[in-house]
Structure formats: structure tokens, C-alpha cells
């Protein structure tokens, strides 16, 4: 309790007016992007070259696709900690299937690839089916369910390979899906664009997309509006896993081996990408376009740090700190939003 | 600078105070202003509260009543202006600071922790202790004493999430009562209470008034103003309109001050020509035992009212018909088709819509834009979508038309629902009943927190729905609503129907008489 002497300062006056307005409107992400670009451009001459930009885009493809899936889970008010495992299991199963078909019928390259894709994505999606059943039908918390499945999936991936990388996939697989280009642009980038476009339609043009937001917005209201909330939740986790699995196959093509320990950082990074992009951890809020930007931002930071020769262990520190910073910034923004006229 | 402003308005507000012999109001606001993005919710409002009076705040939905009291209670901070407590300027940056001065508030939106018991909620932040440890036994006893005092029939050890909205309202009220009260603020406390609970609340308010507590009371029920109020301050569009005497100002005058125009009859004439039976329920029992053996019918083109005390089962019945409650026994027949296992989806597909009484908890997605809340129940159907793709443009057009029809203020459908005032949130939910052609509409407390002007608009459209052949089941604790609109009334008691009234039998006496246990006649 204190004597009030002055009225609240008028917002948006002075030189900080515009940035503040932008911050309140768009969140922290544009600023982080700008700061990151300036810093890395200053630290390394190679950073702002066309080649490197393309590199960043290509490297970010995997995280972007996984983050889009993660976003679905977050919007329904849950999350998926098993996305890393899904990547690993997909990679291992896909590679094993592809390699064995290739060994049996070496001339049928496309058959091998098709079988590999189906097996890999099927295996990854199966994890999502389990998550979905647990969360939607047995009311297990998404945290416990996906944490548990992360362990199950990782265990299976290690068991299948004994911890060694899987070789023996057709050359064409890596050449095409890992390193192939079309009109000078790497194929994985096209893949990400197509995935994002399809998902955009699903989220913003179909009733299902609306239901995803409704379940996260108020699950009781959704239920009383006749929305099959269980089915929506189930499909969300399956879709999330399918996206992660697809990313897993693309990454396998890039690495040319099936590995059980890829994707370990994916849960953290994908959640970070979403949160930095303004997806609410309480559900119901978040835009797809922003999530793509969020994933690109993380890709950019990783790339910049590599160019600046920052040690990889330190990089993990930076990413964790960024995540926390983003959450704090979001809180500040909410406070501004409540106290300013637009 | 602010001192000057203080003096100037002291003069204005002083006119009334001096001749009543109050030297200094208990609480006073000077040019209080509060901005929200894009909206000035409160604009230079001077308001004063004396010790020992019940001061009613009256105004349309979105007039700024809740905004005003939330600043008095420390829940939000003013953009500019001052609050004086016993003549001294104060600044609350949280509810706790206000509570320390004995200012206690019951907000429109509840602040209860669902996983905790009634008693734990009542003493949250002021727990009963013994040698530094929680002493839950004593706490439960104290809670029971307060509840008994209010004659609220609640078990202090019950968990909040097991209670209905009305019961939660009772806990909210009980929570605000403390020994060192100086100002009590009640934001639509009776919105979901029936006469019985309201009477007890009023008796208690009268007692507090004698103890020189200042009471700020917000209500949309005009009859309550005369019953409990001393002075009334009217707000319109965030601005102060007038402060008048509660006893000598007529209802019409109050409404005129509130809306700036003359509003005719609140209740429309409903011409009821019942047609075929739409809903027939036989011997319904729910899993949780809240209904035991309810049979009722609703016909095309009639409004059937469900009345009864809180916990009597009237609300449960509506939910059960919609398939949102597990049924143990009984049959539900809808439009001649026996529904073996009703679920919200099957009932909606057949043309039954249920709108829940608790908009925040069961009705609305607070973080989503307004138009999404309007279309929620119909977005997967025509005309909103063809089943696969949602027609966004048409959705907005329909939502815009509905907003206009229900006089949504402000009519900005891209705003998140949270940013609307309580009554306007209610309109967003009610708009759902117009998003498709429904054969039966179950409204549970449709006018909770809705102002008089809009209320008549809502009654109008309920009557219209009924005229075009829909059936309406109206569940309400607002007795005038039941008496004026229904062509038949079922009165519930203890999970079954106590009496069915029709035509001339529907009057206050008959309905109230059936609220309580009947002697075996
Ligand atoms: N958190 C918020 N953000 C933005 N605008 C808000 C917020 N809270 C209230 N408003 C706006 O402020 C105005 C006043 O709202 P307030 O809740 O005080 O109305 P009220 O008089 O209590 O109405 P009701 O009778 O419907 O409860 C409304 O126009 C509302 O849209
Ligand atoms: Mg209000």
C-alpha cells in the first residue's frame, strides 16, 4: 500500500514504442531471430551466404517436421516425450527391413525402399498408437505415457540392433532422400513444405483441426458439443508419431545408416521450438506458421554455433537457456498485453 | 496533481454524504480508469461506499461493474485514478493487500481449487494452525459453523470438483466471510442460487449491515435491488451514470438509466401449441444415484420448466437426457426413436442440444476466439462444413449475424473469449442454439449473469424457437423465468419429480411449496 503519485506511463511512446508493439503482437521470436542473425553474421563471414542459408534450411527439416507433430500434442494440452525414440525406432526398423529386402533381391531397389519406408513409419507410428490408447482411453497423463513409451521404444531399438548401426541399404535411398536435389533445392526441404502445407489444411480447414484446438481449449466443453474427445486425442498422438517417424526415415537416408541413438535431443528441441513460437503449454493456443519459424530459429542457432566453433556441450547449455528465456519472455508479454491499449 | 483531482471529486461525491451524516465514506474511488487492449473498460468513475450500506452496482453486460470491483479488491490495478480507503489513498497490487484491510470479494468467476475440500478452500491462505502444523479438525469445524450460519447445506469435507456450479457459488460466498470484515464485495452471487439460498444470504447481509460493514452488490436480478439495496450506482459503457436511492427508484427508471432507453416487457408472450412428443423419459436412474425414477415428456412447441432447489436433480436431469451422465436404468425416447445408450454425439445428431450452466467450466474455450465458441457444436456439419472442409468465410458470416442478433458487445469475434464480460460470454454460448435446426433445446440457467435488456432478447429468442416448432426444456433457479415462460413445470426434489404443474397451477406459491419435502398427503 502506497500513495499513488503518478498515473501509469502511456504505452508506445518514445523510441521503444514500435519494438514494444511488435513484441506484444508477435512475441519474442522475431527478436530472437534478428538478434541471432546479427550475432552470427558478425562472428562468421560464412553465415549469411546463400549456401549456408540453404544448409540451415536443410538441417532444420527434421526438427521442423517433428515440431509440427509436437505442436499437435501441445495444443491438445499434452505433450509427447517419445518423439526421439520414435525417430530411433523408425530408423532402425526401416533400415533393417530395407537392408534385408535389398540383400534378398538386390535389383528391386524401389521395392526395398518402399518396404523400408512402410516398416519404419509403421514401427514409429505404433508408438504413437500406444501413446494414444493410453492417453485417450485410459486417461494416463501424457507425461507418463510418452515417457514410458520412450523407454519401451528405445529398448526395442537397441535390442534389435545390439546397439550397432544398421548398414546395407540401397545407395539410391541416401542419394535420393538424403542428398537429392531438385532445381538446386534439397529434396528434404520439399518434403517439409508438403508436410506443412497438408497439416495447415488439416488444422485450419477441417473440423478435425478445430477439434484439436477445442480439446485443448476446454475438453469438457468439447465433449458437451458432441466432439469425440477420445478419438481426437488418439488421432493426435498417432499423427504426431507419424510425423516424427517420417522425419526419422528422412534422417536415416541422410545418415545412410539405421541408428538407435539419433533423436535423443528431439523431445527438448521440439518442445522448445513450439514454446518459443508461442504454443501454450496449457493447450488450445499455437499457430503452425510460428512453429515452423521456431524450428528454423533453433536450426539457425545450432548452425551459427557450429560455424562459430562453439563446443557442442556448450551448445546444449545455450539451447536450454533459450527455452527458459522464451517462456519468461512470453510471461512478460502476457503482462504487457493486459496493461496496454492497442 | 492527483491530490487536486481528489479534492474536486470529493466535492461532487460529498453532496450525498454530508446530509446523511457520514463524515467520510468507507471506500471511495476518484476518476478510476482501467484500459484493456482496444477498450476502456472503466472511464473516470467516482464511486463511494458508506459503512453499513448495501450499494448495488447496476449496468448492462460489459458496463464495467466487474472491472470496478476487481480493482477495489486488488485483483487488477487501475490504469489511472485513485482508491481511497477511509479517506486515505491506497494502492493494492494483489488481493491479499486488500484483504489485510478487511476487504473481501466474491468474484463472478470462481477462484476455487477443484482438488481441495470445501473447508480447505474456505481457509486457503489463512489455515487453521496448531504449533505451526495444519489443524484440519478445527478447520473443518469452523467451516461447518460458517456454512451453518449461512444455512448452506454443504459438507465441509467434500471436494470442490464434486459440487455443482451453484454449490461452488455457495463455497465462494462462505469463503468471503471472515471475522474482521469491513468491506464485502459480491459480484452476482445469486446468479445460480434459488430463493432458498438467496434468502439466507440476504439475512446475513442484513446482519453485516448492522455491524457497519460496507457491501458492494452486483446483480442483474432487478427485484433484488429493492429487497436488499440502499443505494444504486448505475454504470453504462464504463462511465458513471448516476447514484440513486434503491427503495424510491422504480424498476423502469433503473432500466432506463442502465440502457439509456425504455425497455418494454421483459417476458414475451409465449403462444404454446404443443404438438407431438419430442422427448419421453421413463423411470430414469443415474449411475451416481442423483436421479431415481424420473419420468417426463416434452412436446414440440412448448417450453417445459424445471424448478427445484440446488441439488434437487433438475440440472442432472438435463444432462442425463443429453447422455452426458451415466444411466443405470430407464428409457429415453427421442422423436419416437428409442435411444438405448444416449451420448452427446448421438443426441446432437438427432437434434438435441444441451447448454450447460457453467460456461467457464463446461461451456467455453476461454483462450480461443469468440466465433469458434459459437460454432463449436455445429462446425462439423452443414452449413459450416461439408464434413471434410470448414467453410471459414461462411462460418464468420453466420457468427457475425448471431452476434448482432444477440447484441454481443463488443462485436469483435476474433477476440479471445476471456476478453468478454461475463454476460457476453454467456451470449457466445447461447449462440450455439442457433447454429443448426435443433428439435429440442435444453437450457440450463441460460440467463446467468445476463443483463435485463439482453435477458428479454434471450427470452424472445427462446419463445421464437418454440414458435417455429422446437421444444424447449428450461432449467432455472430464477423463479420469474420459470413462471413466465413455461407452459408446464416439473418441480424436482431429492432426485425425482415432486409435482407437475400446468396452466393456471403455475404460480409462485405452488412451485415454492413443492421445493421442499412433501408430507405424505
Ligand atoms: N481481461 C480483459 N481483457 C480485455 N478486455 C476486457 C477484459 N476484462 C474485461 N474486458 C472488457 O471490459 C469491459 C467491461 O467488462 P466487465 O467485466 O467489467 O463488465 P461487467 O459490467 O462486469 O459485465 P457483466 O454483467 O457481463 O459481468 C467489457 O467490454 C470487456 O470486454
Ligand atoms: Mg461482470
DSSP string, B271-295: -----SEEEEEEEEEETTSS-EEEE
pLDDT-based confidence at residue B275 (cuts at 50, 70, 90): confident
CA of A338 to the centre of ligand 1 (A): 12
C-alpha atoms less than 13 angstroms from C-alpha of B371 in its C-beta half-sphere: 17
pLDDT tens sequence across B21-42: 456 789 999 999 998 877 889 9
Checking DSSP bridges between strand B277-286 and strand B88-90, what pairing results, if any? Answer: unpaired
Q: Given this structure, which CATH class describes domain A29-37+44-341?
A: mainly alpha
Residue B449 pLDDT more than 90? Answer: no
Distance CA B94, CA B236 (A): 27
> What φ, ψ does residue A177 adopt, rounded to 5°?
-85, -15
Residue B347 pLDDT more than 90? Answer: yes
Cβ of B362 within 8 Å of Cβ of A221? The answer is yes
Residue B8 pLDDT more than 50? Answer: no
CB-CB: which of B80, B89, B387 is closest to A3?
B89
In Å, how far from its chain's centre is CA B153?
A: 20
Cβ of A206 within 8 Å of Cβ of B2? The answer is no
Residue A29 pLDDT: 86
Residue B15 pLDDT more than 70? Answer: no
Residue B243 pLDDT: 94
Residue B251 pLDDT: 86
Give the domain-ending residue among B436, B461, B491.
Answer: B436
Residue B83 pLDDT more than 90? Answer: yes
Mean pLDDT in residue range A105-111:
92
- Which residue range forms the structural domain that includes residue B412? 369-436
Task: Tell me whether residue B201 is in a domain.
Answer: no
Domain shared by B339 and B464, yes or no: yes
CA of A285 to the centre of ligand 1 (A): 22
In Å, how far from its chain's centre is CA A114?
A: 25
Task: Tell me whether residue B198 is in a domain.
Answer: no
Distance CA B443, CA A156 (A): 53
> Going by C-beta distance under 8 Å and a sequence separation of 6 or more, which residues neighbour residue B106?
B172, B173, B175, B176, B185, B186, B187, B189
Mean pLDDT in residue range B433-460:
88
Closest residue of A to B354, CA-based? Answer: A224
Domain shared by B442 and B346, yes or no: yes
With CA atoms as reference, report the closest residue to B57 among B256, B300, B308, B225. B225
Q: Chain B partners of A224 at a C-beta cutoff of 8 Å?
A: 322, 324, 344, 354, 356, 362-363
Distance CA B255, CA A291 (A): 50
Counting one residue from chain A and one from chain B, the pairs whose CB atoms sit within 8 A come to: 116
Distance CA A125, CA A119 (A): 10
Residue B23 pLDDT: 62
Distance CA A34, CA A56 (A): 15
Q: Chain B partners of A285 at a C-beta cutoff of 8 Å?
A: 367-368
Q: Chain B partners of A279 at a C-beta cutoff of 8 Å?
A: none
Task: Tell me whether residue B229 is in a domain.
Answer: yes
CA of B259 to the centre of ligand 2 (A): 16
pLDDT-based confidence at residue B175 (cuts at 50, 70, 90): confident
Cβ of A224 within 8 Å of Cβ of B37? The answer is no
Residue A338 pLDDT: 59
Residue B272 pLDDT more than 80? Answer: no
Residue B419 pLDDT more than 50? Answer: yes
Task: Tell me whether residue B462 is in a domain.
Answer: yes
Q: Are B63 and B236 in contact (CB under 8 A)?
A: yes
Shortest distance, CA A213 to any CA of chain B (angstroms): 8
Q: Are A255 and A76 in contact (CB under 8 A)?
A: no
Residue B266 pLDDT: 78
Q: Which residues' Cβ are closer than 6 Å to ligand 1?
A: B 36-37, 39, 41, 59, 61-67, 108, 410, 418-424, 449, 451
Residue B17 pLDDT: 40
Residue A2 pLDDT more than 60? Answer: no
What percentage of chain B carries pLDDT values higher than 90?
A: 47
pLDDT tens sequence across A165-182: 999 999 999 999 999 999
Residue A46 pLDDT more than 90? Answer: no
Residue B204 pLDDT: 84
Grid cell 548401426 in the structure block, residue: A165
Distance CA B90, CA A183 (A): 69
Residue B398 pLDDT more than 60? Answer: yes
Q: Are B356 and B347 in contact (CB under 8 A)?
A: no
> What φ, ψ does residue B219 adopt, rounded to 5°?
-150, 155
Distance CA B344, CA A224 (A): 6
Q: Are A151 and A253 in contact (CB under 8 A)?
A: no
Cell representation of residue A26: 508477435
Domain shared by B257 and B274, yes or no: no
Shortest distance, CA A225 to any CA of chain B (angstroms): 4
Domain shared by B517 and B447, yes or no: yes
CB-CB: which of A220, A228, A280 is closest to B362?
A220
Cell representation of residue B345: 454425439
Nearest CA owner, ligand 1 atom 3:
B419
How many domains does chain B fold into?
3
Q: Which residues pair with B32 in a beta bridge?
A: B45
Residue A133 pLDDT: 97
> Going by C-beta distance under 8 Å and a sequence separation of 6 or more, which residues neighbour residue B10?
B28, B30
Residue A295 pLDDT: 95
pLDDT-based confidence at residue A1 (cuts at 50, 70, 90): very low
Domain shared by B345 and B450, yes or no: yes
- Alpha-carbon distance values, B222 to B15, B280, B496, B511 (Å): 26, 36, 31, 21
With CA atoms as reference, report the closest residue to A237 among A71, A51, A106, A120. A71
CB-CB: which of B2, B347, B365 is closest to A4?
B2
Checking DSSP bridges between strand B471-475 and strand B440-444, what pairing results, if any? Answer: parallel
Cβ of A224 within 8 Å of Cβ of B344? The answer is yes
Residue A3 pLDDT more than 50? Answer: no
Task: Tell me whether residue B185 is in a domain.
Answer: no
Cβ of A218 within 8 Å of Cβ of B90? The answer is no
pLDDT-based confidence at residue B4 (cuts at 50, 70, 90): very low
CA B462, B466, B469, B470 torsion-angle sign: positive
Q: Which of A126-130, B37-41, B229-233, B261-265 has the lowest mean pLDDT?
A: B261-265
Grid cell 433445446 in the structure block, residue: B441
CB-CB: which of B81, B89, B367 is closest to A280?
B367
Mean pLDDT in residue range B498-511:
90
**A198 has a chain B CB within 8 A of its CB:** no
Domain shared by B330 and B461, yes or no: yes
Cell representation of residue B307: 424448478
Residue A72 pLDDT: 97
Residue B190 pLDDT: 87
Residue B263 pLDDT: 66
Closest residue of B to A336, CA-based? Answer: B37
Q: Are B56 and B217 in contact (CB under 8 A)?
A: yes
> What φ, ψ does residue A21 adopt, rounded to 5°?
-60, -45
- Cβ-based burial of B388 (10 A; exposed 0-12, middle 13-18, buried ≥19): exposed
What percentage of chain A carries pLDDT values higher than 70?
A: 93
Domain shared by B443 and B347, yes or no: yes
Domain shared by B373 and B387, yes or no: yes
Cβ of A284 within 8 Å of Cβ of B389? The answer is no
Domain shared by B19 and B72, yes or no: yes
Residue B442 pLDDT: 96
Task: Tell me whether residue B32 is in a domain.
Answer: yes
pLDDT-based confidence at residue A341 (cuts at 50, 70, 90): very low
CATH of the domain at B478: 3.40.50.300
- Cβ-based burial of A49 (10 A; exposed 0-12, middle 13-18, buried ≥19): exposed
Residue A10 pLDDT: 43
Residue B1 pLDDT more than 70? Answer: no
Residue B18 pLDDT more than 80? Answer: no
CB-CB: which of A6, A207, A340 is closest to B37?
A340
CA of B41 to the centre of ligand 1 (A): 6
Q: Chain B partners of A214 at a C-beta cutoff of 8 Å?
A: 365, 368, 372, 376
Cβ of B372 within 8 Å of Cβ of A339? The answer is no
Domain shared by B253 and B299, yes or no: no
Point out the ligand nearest to the CA of residue B450. 1
Cβ of A7 within 8 Å of Cβ of B79? The answer is yes
Residue A14 pLDDT: 52
Residue B483 pLDDT: 92
Cell representation of residue B393: 468465410
Distance CA B200, CA B185 (A): 17
**A214 has a chain B CB within 8 A of its CB:** yes
Nearest CA owner, ligand 1 atom 24:
B61
Task: Tell me whether residue B199 is in a domain.
Answer: no
Residue B11 pLDDT more than 70? Answer: no
Shortest distance, CA A89 to any CA of chain B (angstroms): 33
pLDDT tens sequence across B122-165: 888 777 777 777 778 888 998 998 888 877 888 999 998 888 87
Cβ of A224 within 8 Å of Cβ of B349? The answer is no
Highest average pLDDT, of A63-72, B178-187, B188-197, B330-339, comes from A63-72
Nearest CA owner, ligand 1 atom 6:
B419
B388 against B134, higher pLDDT = B388
Task: Tell me whether residue B500 is in a domain.
Answer: yes
Q: Are A183 and A262 in contact (CB under 8 A)?
A: no
Shortest distance, CA B201 to any CA of chain A (angstroms): 31
What percentage of chain B carries pLDDT values higher than 70?
A: 94
Q: What is the mean pLDDT of chain B?
A: 87
The preferred substitution site among B38, B39, B428 for testing ligand 1, maximizing ligand atoms within 8 Å of CB, is: B39
pLDDT tens sequence across A130-163: 999 999 999 999 999 999 999 999 999 999 999 8
pLDDT-based confidence at residue A337 (cuts at 50, 70, 90): low
Q: Which residues pair with B233 in a beta bridge?
A: B57, B243
* Ligand 1 atom closest to the CA of B415, numbered from 1: 4
Shortest distance, CA A284 to any CA of chain B (angstroms): 7
- Alpha-carbon distance values, B134 to A312, B122, B123 (Å): 50, 14, 11
Residue B273 CB coordination number (10 Å): 12
Residue B19 pLDDT: 41
Cβ of A1 within 8 Å of Cβ of B92? The answer is yes
- Alpha-carbon distance values, A164 to A157, A161, B516 (Å): 10, 6, 76
Mean pLDDT in residue range A195-215:
94
Closest residue of B to A6, CA-based? Answer: B2
SS (H, E, C) B27-66: EEEEEEEEEECCEEEEEEEEEEECCCCEEEEEECCCCCHH
A280 against B318, higher pLDDT = B318
Distance CA B45, CA B40 (A): 12
Amino acid at each position: 500500500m502506497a500513495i499513488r503519485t503518478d498515473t501509469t506511463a502511456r504505452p508506445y511512446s518514445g523510441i521503444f514504442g514500435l519494438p514494444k508493439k511488435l513484441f506484444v503482437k508477435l512475441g519474442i521470436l522475431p527478436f530472437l531471430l534478428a538478434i541471432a542473425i546479427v550475432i552470427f553474421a558478425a562472428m562468421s563471414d560464412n553465415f549469411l551466404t546463400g549456401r549456408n542459408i540453404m544448409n540451415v534450411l536443410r538441417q532444420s527439416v527434421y526438427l521442423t517436421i517433428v515440431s509440427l507433430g509436437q505442436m499437435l500434442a501441445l495444443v491438445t494440452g499434452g505433450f509427447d516425450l517419445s518423439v526421439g525414440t520414435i525417430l530411433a525406432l523408425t530408423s532402425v526398423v526401416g533400415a533393417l527391413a530395407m537392408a534385408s529386402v535389398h540383400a534378398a533381391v538386390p535389383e528391386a531397389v524401389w521395392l526395398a525402399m518402399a518396404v523400408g519406408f512402410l516398416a519404419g513409419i509403421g514401427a514409429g507410428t505404433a508408438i504413437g498408437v500406444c501413446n494414444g490408447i493410453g492417453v485417450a482411453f485410459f486417461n494416463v497423463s501424457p507425461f507418463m505415457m510418452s515417457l514410458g513409451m520412450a523407454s519401451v521404444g528405445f529398448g526395442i531399438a537397441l535390442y534389435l540392433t545390439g546397439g550397432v548401426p544398421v548398414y546395407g541399404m540401397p545407395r539410391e535411398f541416401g542419394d535420393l532422400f538424403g542428398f537429392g536435389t531438385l532445381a538446386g533445392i534439397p529434396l528434404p526441404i520439399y518434403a517439409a513444405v508438403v508436410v506443412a502445407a497438408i497439416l495447415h489444411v488439416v488444422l485450419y480447414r477441417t473440423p478435425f483441426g478445430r477439434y484439436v484446438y477445442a480439446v485443448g481449449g476446454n475438453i469438457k466443453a468439447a465433449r458437451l458439443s458432441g466432439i469425440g474427445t477420445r478419438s481426437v486425442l488418439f488421432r493426435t498422438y498417432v499423427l504426431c508419431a507419424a510425423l516424427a517417424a517420417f522425419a526419422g526415415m528422412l534422417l536415416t537416408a541422410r545418415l545412410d545408416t539405421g541408428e538407435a541413438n539419433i533423436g535423443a535431443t528431439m523431445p527438448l528441441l521440439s518442445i522448445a521450438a513450439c514454446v518459443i513460437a508461442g504454443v501454450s503449454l496449457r493447450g488450445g493456443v499455437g499457430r503452425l506458421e510460428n512453429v515452423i519459424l521456431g524450428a528454423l530459429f533453433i536450426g539457425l542457432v545450432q548452425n551459427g554455433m557450429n560455424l562459430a566453433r562453439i563446443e557442442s556441450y556448450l551448445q546444449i547449455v545455450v539451447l536450454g537457456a533459450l527455452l527458459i528465456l522464451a517462456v519468461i519472455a512470453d510471461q512478460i508479454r502476457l503482462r504487457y498485453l493486459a496493461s496496454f491499449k492497442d | 496533481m492527483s491530490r487536486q483531482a481528489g479534492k474536486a471529486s470529493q466535492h461532487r461525491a460529498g453532496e450525498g454524504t454530508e446530509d446523511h451524516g457520514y463524515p467520510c465514506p468507507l471506500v471511495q474511488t476518484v476518476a478510476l480508469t482501467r484500459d484493456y487492449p482496444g477498450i476502456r473498460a472503466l472511464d473516470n468513475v467516482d464511486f463511494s461506499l458508506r459503512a453499513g450500506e448495501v450499494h448495488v452496482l447496476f449496468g448492462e453486460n460489459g458496463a464495467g461493474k466487474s472491472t470496478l470491483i476487481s480493482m477495489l479488491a486488488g485483483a487488477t490495478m487501475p490504469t489511472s485514478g485513485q482508491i481511497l480507503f477511509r479517506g486515505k489513498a491506497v494502492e493494492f497490487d494483489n488481493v491479499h493487500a486488500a484483504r489485510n484491510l478487511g476487504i473481501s470479494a466474491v468474484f463472478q468467476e470462481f477462484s476455487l481449487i477443484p482438488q481441495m475440500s470445501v473447508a480447505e478452500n474456505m481457509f486457503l491462505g489463512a489455515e487453521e494452525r496448531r504449533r505451526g502444523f495444519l489443524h484440519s479438525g478445527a478447520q473443518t469445524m469452523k467451516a461447518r459453523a460458517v456454512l451453518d450460519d449461512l444455512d448452506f447445506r454443504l459438507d465441509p469435507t467434500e471436494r470442490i470438483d464434486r459440487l455443482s456450479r451453484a454449490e461452488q457459488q455457495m463455497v465462494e460466498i462462505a469463503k468471503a466471510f471472515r471475522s474482521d470484515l469491513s468491506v464485502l464485495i459480491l459480484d452476482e452471487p445469486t446468479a445460480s442460487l434459488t430463493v432458498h439460498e438467496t434468502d439466507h444470504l440476504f439475512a446475513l447481509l442484513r446482519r453485516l449491515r448492522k455491524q457497519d460493514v460496507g457491501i458492494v452488490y452486483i446483480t442483474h436480478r432487478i427485484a433484488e435491488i429493492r429487497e436488499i439495496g440502499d443505494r444504486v450506482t448505475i454504470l453504462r459503457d464504463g462511465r458513471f451514470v448516476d447514484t440513486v436511492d434503491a427503495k424510491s427508484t422504480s424498476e423502469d427508471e433503473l432500466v432506463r438509466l442502465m440502457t439509456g432507453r425504455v425497455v418494454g416487457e421483459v417476458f414475451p408472450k409465449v403462444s404454446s401449441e404443443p404438438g407431438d412428443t419430442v422427448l419421453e423419459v421413463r423411470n430414469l436412474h443415474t449411475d451416481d444415484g442423483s436421479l431415481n425414477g424420473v419420468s417426463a415428456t416434452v412436446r414440440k412447441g412448448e417450453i417445459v420448466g424445471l424448478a427445484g432447489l440446488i441439488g434437487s436433480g433438475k440440472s442432472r436431469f438435463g444432462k442425463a437426457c443429453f447422455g452426458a451422465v451415466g444411466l443405470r436404468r430407464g428409457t429415453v425416447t427421442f422423436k419416437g426413436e428409442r435411444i438405448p445408450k444416449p451420448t452427446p454425439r448421438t443426441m446432437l445428431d438427432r437434434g438435441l442440444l444441451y447448454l450447460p450452466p457453467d460456461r467457464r467450466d463446461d461451456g467455453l474455450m476461454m483462450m480461443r476466439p469468440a466465433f469458434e465458441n459459437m460454432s463449436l457444436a455445429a462446425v462439423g456439419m452443414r452449413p459450416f462444413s461439408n464434413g471434410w472442409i470448414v467453410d471459414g468465410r461462411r462460418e464468420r458470416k453466420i457468427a457475425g449475424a448471431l452476434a448482432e442478433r444477440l447484441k454481443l458487445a463488443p462485436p469483435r469475434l476474433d477476440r479471445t473469449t476471456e476478453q468478454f464480460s461475463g454476460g457476453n460470454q454467456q451470449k457466445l454460448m447461447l449462440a450455439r442454439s442457433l447454429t443448426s435446426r435443433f428439435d429440442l433445446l435444453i437450457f440450463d440457467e441460460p440467463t446467468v449473469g445476463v443483463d435485463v435488456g439482453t435477458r428479454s432478447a434471450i427470452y424472445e429468442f427462446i419463445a421464437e424457437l418454440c414458435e417455429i416448432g422446437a421444444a424447449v426444456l428450461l432449467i432455472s433457479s430464477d423463479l420469474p423465468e420459470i413462471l413466465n415462460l413455461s407452459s408446464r413445470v416439473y418441480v424436482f426434489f431429492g432426485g425425482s419429480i415432486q409435482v407437475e404443474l400446468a396452466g393456471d397451477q403455475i404460480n409462485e406459491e405452488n412451485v415454492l411449496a413443492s421445493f421442499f419435502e412433501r408430507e405424505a398427503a
